[in-house]
Amino acid sequence: MGGVGLAYAAAIGYPIYRYLNSPVEASIQMAAVKDVTLPDADKLPKGSALMFKFGIRPAILIHHQDDSWVSLDAICTHMGCTVAYDPKKDHIHCACHGGTYDAKTGENISGPPPRPLTKYVVAVTPGSVLITRAQHG
Ligand code: FES
């Protein structure tokens, strides 16, 4: 009798545990990631971009025509779609509802996005690019 009760508790306990645990796991992973090194990203041609993961979040690194480097969080601040760099228009575009962002500052410039994209700090060195979370406060 006791064994059956225990098995039942274990059976319903597991999905509840998973449900509670997943967001916590995700936020712990995010908190742990302070920087990302991208080997050979210093060779990214001007006017192009590459997508990478900053922890669990998609992010974007852009090497602009004027030789400046910009890295931004790539999750749209409207409803969370992944955004992309449009080299022809030189802006960040969200395909879900047509939102656009400035490709240098991350400012939301048109469409529904309510806030800018989070900007990371970029350090280019021979052989790699280091992306760091900006310090606040
Ligand atoms: S989710 Fe990007 S514009 Fe709506």
pLDDT in tens, 86-113: 999 999 999 999 999 999 999 999 999 9
Would you say the CB of residue 76 lies under 6 angstroms from ligand 1? yes
My answer on whether 46 and 107 are in the same domain is: yes
Would you say the CB of residue 106 lies under 6 angstroms from ligand 1? no
User: Which parts of the chain have pLDDT scores under 50?
Assistant: 1, 9, 12, 14-19, 137
Would you say the CB of residue 93 lies under 6 angstroms from ligand 1? no
What range does the domain containing 25 cover? 1-32
User: 51 near 60, Cβ under 8 Å?
Assistant: yes
pLDDT of residue 4: 55
My answer on whether 6 and 61 are in the same domain is: no
Does residue 10 lie in a domain region?
yes
Would you say the CB of residue 115 lies under 6 angstroms from ligand 1? no
What's the CATH code of the domain at 56? 2.102.10.10
Question: How many domains does the chain fold into?
Answer: 2
My answer on whether 60 and 97 are in the same domain is: yes
pLDDT of residue 16: 47
- In this prediction the pTM is 0.78
**CA 98–ligand 1 middle distance (angstroms):** 7
